[in-house]
Structures are given as C-alpha cells and as structure tokens.
Amino acid sequence: MIAASLFTLFFCGQEVSLVFKPSAWNFVTNQSSGPLEQKVAIENQHTDKIELTFTPTSPRLTVSPNTLELGGHETDHITIRYDPSSIQGRVAIQTVVRARKGNSISLQYFPVTGKVLVNSSGKDDSIQSNTQLETPQEKTTPPLFFEYFYDSGCKGCEIFIVREMITLQKKLGIRLHVSMRDIREPEIYDTYTHVLDALGVKERAYPAIVFQGTVLQGEQEIEQELEDVLRKYYTR
C-alpha cells in the first residue's frame, strides 16, 4: 500500500489540498550504487489551478520538473533523484514545495530520509559537530562574516563550506567566519526568505551564502563566484 500525505494549504482563508503519493521517500543504499530515483504523484484536490515550485535543500537532491502546474482535481508526477556518492550515514533532507494560487503563496515540505552504507574503503567524509569553521590565519585583517543557509541533514553541505573556507583563506590571505543557519528551524527559514524578498532574489538552490547584500545559491554558484565577491569587497 502506498502511503499518501494530505497537505492542506490556505490561500486567503480558502482551503487548498494537495495529496502526495508516497508521502515521503526513505531509502537504504551504498555510496557506489549510483543515483537513486523516486517518482511522486501529486494530486490537486481543489477546483482552482495551483502552480508548484520545488527547491531541494541539498545539492545532491534534484527534482524534475522543478515547476508544475496543476488544474483543479488534476494529478501529475515529479521525479526526485539523490546522489549518494562520497556520503555515508543517515540522510535527512527535504524539498521545499512552494504552492502559488494567484498572488498567494504557501509552503510545505517533502521529506527525504535514508541511510548510505560505507564502501569497503571505510573512508568517512563526515565532520564532527565541534569542527572549528574559522581556520587559523595570520591576523593582518579583521575576519569577514557571512551567513550560510543549509539543511543540517545534508552532511555534504557542511563539508563543502569548510573546504571552501580553507581554500579561499589560503588563496586570498584573509580570515572568514561563517554563521551556520539551519533552514529546518522555521524562524531561520522565514528570515532567509524575507532577505530574498528584500533583495528581489528568487529562492533557487541550497546551500546558500548571504554576504553584504549578495546571495549565492547552490554549490556551483558559490564555487564560481564567492572568490570574486570577496575580492570586490576588499578593493571597493
């Protein structure tokens, strides 16, 4: 029997119901097994059209298509994919489901949980919870502070920002200090979306960095643009 979840949304006092089948995705896999897929059916139980946008909270998680339009009482499907390579241990991430009807928006979350078994090498890429994210540098300049919005269930997201900071500090001869912001906490996610609205930026990908009014979203964008953003800050 396939489990179903009834998401009840409210637009201007009017109830709108979405049913997800299955209601969540749970898996057990191996690092070397390759990407996993889960097909999810979404039913709009209301009479009005709803526009859906899907934003995964981990770069290892993708949704296709990432937008969907459902007419009244219509059902369609999305495919969720997860890449377990170089990750081990428990996974607890999610996809943010943004539902729009007219000018009204409501949010829900589709959970993705599971366990990635270690390869025979036994290599562990995880970091400890007490890892110091500000690496020692010669204190010639004050540290730069930025915020990092991520899903705490995404181990790779923590590893990624530590490696980026170490690389950029050595390359640029600066000190960086990061404030980790877990979007699983409702007030943190609410703060982040308000920042995006104030800057006129759309929510596109995670993890994300906010620094001096600049928002970088997704690992690729952070890798490609963070160095230039920091250089411009020092040369302005």
Tens of pLDDT, residues 127-159: 333 333 444 444 456 788 899 999 998 878 999
Exposure of 197 by Cβ count < 10 A (0-12 exposed, 13-18 middle, 19+ buried)?
Answer: exposed
Residue 125 pLDDT greater than 50, yes or no = no
Q: Which domain holds residue 173?
A: 144-235
Is 129 domain-assigned? no
Is 139 domain-assigned? no
In this structure, are 193 and 151 located in the same domain? yes
Is 112 domain-assigned? yes
**CA–CA distance, 176 with 167 (Å, rounded to integer):** 11
Is 173 domain-assigned? yes
pTM passes above 0.85 = no
Is 26 domain-assigned? yes
DSSP state of 72: T
Residue 6 pLDDT greater than 70, yes or no = no
In this structure, are 156 and 89 located in the same domain? no
**CA–CA distance, 166 with 11 (Å, rounded to integer):** 45
Number of domains comprising the chain: 2
In this structure, are 9 and 111 located in the same domain? yes
In this structure, are 107 and 211 located in the same domain? no
In this structure, are 148 and 86 located in the same domain? no
Is 149 domain-assigned? yes
Higher pLDDT residue, 15 or 224?
Answer: 224
- CA proximity to 64, closest of 85, 40, 99, 87: 40
The pLDDT value recorded for residue 142 is 74
Percent of the chain with pLDDT over 90: 51
Tens of pLDDT, residues 157-191: 999 999 999 999 999 998 898 999 999 999 999 99
In this structure, are 149 and 61 located in the same domain? no
In this structure, are 9 and 59 located in the same domain? yes
Q: The tokens 């979007």 sit on which residue?
A: 183
In this structure, are 160 and 112 located in the same domain? no
Helix residue ranges, H only, 108-177: 155-172
- H-run or E-run covering 196: helix 186-199
